[in-house]
Structure 1
């Protein structure tokens, strides 16, 4: 019996994209449930009742492909053009996290060094939100390797590392001898990861300790459709 592979977009902020590019991040957590509006009278008019249902992330499985949406820009000449109306793969796409993707001798391929992080080239247009990035403009594809559902606060030390936290604190604790170094890192990394979650999802989301889908993945530094064409 063949297994159907599903392609899904997934949003990451610049720091998390940077961690994926630097091979530090290979796991992410997303809410397993979401509140959905329902209309008891059968029409889209009040009253409205919020019902908790499984989120799309709860259906992700190993082998699925996630194409990354991130903050981006194209040339100023396209500033008045909606993302859906941009002609695919005909222009360079620049990323807030650094780097770009464009047509090259190898095809539609990313350049991880141009422009550097924090540099906005003179011809770059307005910043565009990650949620509006079209599939063809994505430069990162995540191949799902494992999925588990657990309470948010049950994250393990190993998963904190996989979430990309370890590198940020290894130098700070390098001078501390013995087990104290690990304990110092563990505390710093855990609270840094918790604060990141709260900044994205809100304090209540942490306090409620909701079930989350922990998704492990391999990072492919290429557009999802470029991978398919190469295969």
Structure 2
């Protein structure tokens, strides 16, 4: 069973710890207007899925079908990388420091550099699918950790998710990956689990 890292911002780390987040969406970079992902061809042994290639944006003329490797599959174990620091008494996490005022004795390190042994949040992937970003429902937005009015002025969890999503996309990529573009995304559902070693 593969063990892989995954990044979350501080607000989403808190949502996981609070039990409000059980799903995440990530860009499916194998897909675009001419290339459509298809998990109905998922092969668990090979960890692959299909993409259908079309000659046109209306997807009327199919050219070919190719096999691609899934980045994350059902059953995978993920450890959450978050902003952290190491001190004589162990590891500290930025999300806790904001809440508990842990003494700032060393510099915070970016989440991308967190080693596996420092991770405190472990997740087991329970389901993976692909869909268009704007297919998210109000209930699914709540599973993403969004609750209307908590982080933004949005009136619904879905509206809050839209704001949250766009805040994570570079301005230069909004036309391609922003909410209005409704790109293909991986929908990764998970549950908390105990720390595992490879």
Which of 68, 73, 77 is matched with 1:65 structurally? Answer: 77
Which of 119, 130, 143 is matched with 2:101 structurally? Answer: 119
- Cα drift, residue 59 of structure 1: 3.5
Task: Give the TM-score of the pair, scaled to structure 2.
Answer: 0.70
> Residue deviations 1:173-209, cap 9 Å, x none?
xxxxxxxxxxxx8x43222111111111233322321
SS of alignment partner, residue 168 of structure 2: helix
Structure holding more helix per residue: 1
Q: 1:149 to 1:31 in 2, by over 3 A?
A: same
- Cα drift, residue 32 of structure 1: 1.0
The aligned runs of 1:1-231 (5 Å cut-off) are: 5-33=1-29, 58-75=70-87, 91-98=89-96, 117=99, 119-122=101-104, 124-166=105-147, 169=149, 187-202=155-170, 203-204=174-175, 205-206=177-178, 207-220=180-193, 222-225=194-197
RMSD after superposition: 2.8
Extract unaligned runs of 5+ from structure 2: 32-65
- Cα drift, residue 134 of structure 1: 0.3
Aligned 8 A contact 1:34 1:54 in 2: no
Once residues 211 and 55 of structure 1 are traced to their aligned partners in structure 2, the CA distance between those partners, rounded to angstroms, is: 15
SS of alignment partner, residue 74 of structure 1: strand
SS of alignment partner, residue 186 of structure 2: strand
Once residues 117 and 32 of structure 1 are traced to their aligned partners in structure 2, the CA distance between those partners, rounded to angstroms, is: 34
- Cα drift, residue 70 of structure 1: 0.3
Structure holding more strand per residue: 2
- Cα drift, residue 141 of structure 1: 0.7
Aligned length, in residue pairs: 157
Once residues 61 and 34 of structure 1 are traced to their aligned partners in structure 2, the CA distance between those partners, rounded to angstroms, is: 15
Aligned 8 A contact 2:130 2:184 in 1: yes
Aligned 8 A contact 1:33 1:55 in 2: no
> Residue deviations 1:135-177, cap 9 Å, x none?
00000111000111001111112211110113x548xxxxxxx
